Structure 1
Amino acid sequence: MAPKKRMPRVYLIRHGETEWSLNGRHTGVSDIPLTENGEKMVKEMGPRMMGPGKLIDPAAVRHVFISPRKRAQRTAELLFGANPLPKCYMTTEPEVAEWDYGAYEGMLTKDIRKNKPDWEIWTDGRHPGETPQQMSDRVDRVIAKVRAIHMKAEEDASSPEEIEHSDVMIFSHGHFTRVFIARWCGFPLKAGYNFAADAGGLAVLGYQHNTLKEPSLLGLNWYSEDSLAHR
Structure 2
Amino acid sequence: MAPRILLARHGQTAWSLAGKHTGRTDVPLLEEGRRGAKLLGERLHRPPLDGLSGAEVRTSPLTRARETCELAGFGERASEWDTLMEWDYGAYEGMTPDEIQAVNPGWLIWRDGVPDGETLAEVTARADEVVAWARAADRDVLVFAHGHILRSIGARWLGLPLDFAARIRLNPTSLSVLGWAYGEPAIESWNDLGHLAG
TM-score range, shorter chain: over 0.9
Q: Distance in 1 between matches of 2:10 and 2:79?
A: 16
Q: Distance in 1 between matches of 2:153 and 2:175?
A: 13
Q: Is 1:175 aligned to residue 148 of structure 2?
A: yes
Matched residues, number: 197
- Residue 57 of structure 2 aligns to which amino acid in structure 1? V
Could you tell me which of 18, 26, 29 is aligned with 2:24? 29
Question: Which SS does the other structure have where 2:191 is aligned?
Answer: strand
Task: Please give the TM-score of this superposition, normalised by the length of structure 1.
Answer: 0.80
Question: Which SS does the other structure have where 1:135 is aligned?
Answer: helix
Could you tell me which of 165, 171, 178 is aligned with 1:205? 178
Question: Which runs of no fewer than 5 residues in structure 1 stay unpaired?
Answer: 1-5, 154-165
Q: Where does residue 186 of structure 2 map in the other structure?
A: 216
Q: Bigger radius of gyration, 1 or 2?
A: 1
Q: Where does residue 187 of structure 1 map in the other structure?
A: 160
- Residue 65 of structure 1 aligns to which amino acid in structure 2? R
Q: Where does residue 53 of structure 2 map in the other structure?
A: 59
Check 1:225–1:46 CA distance in 2 against 1; reply closer, same or farther (3 A cut).
closer
Task: Please give the TM-score of this superposition, normalised by the length of structure 2.
Answer: 0.92
Check 1:56–1:215 CA distance in 2 against 1; reply closer, same or farther (3 A cut).
farther
When the two chains are superposed, the root-mean-square deviation of aligned CA atoms in Å is: 1.9
Q: CA deviation at 1:91?
A: 1.2
Question: Which runs of no fewer than 5 residues in structure 2 stay unpaired?
Answer: none
Question: Identity over the aligned pairs, expressed in percent?
Answer: 39
Q: CA deviation at 1:57?
A: 4.0
- Residue 218 of structure 1 aligns to which amino acid in structure 2? E
- Counterpart contact for 1:41–1:200, Cα < 8 Å: yes
Q: CA deviation at 1:10?
A: 0.7
Q: Where does residue 14 of structure 2 map in the other structure?
A: 19
- Aligned structure 1 segments of 4 or more residues deviating by more than 3 angstroms: none
- Comparing 120-129 with 65-74, greater Cα deviation is found at 120-129
* Deviations 1:21-79 (CA, angstroms, capped at 9, x unpaired): 1110000000110001110111122223323x323542231x11110100000000000
Q: Where does residue 122 of structure 2 map in the other structure?
A: 134
Q: Where does residue 157 of structure 1 map in the other structure?
A: none
Q: Distance in 1 between matches of 2:4 and 2:34?
A: 25
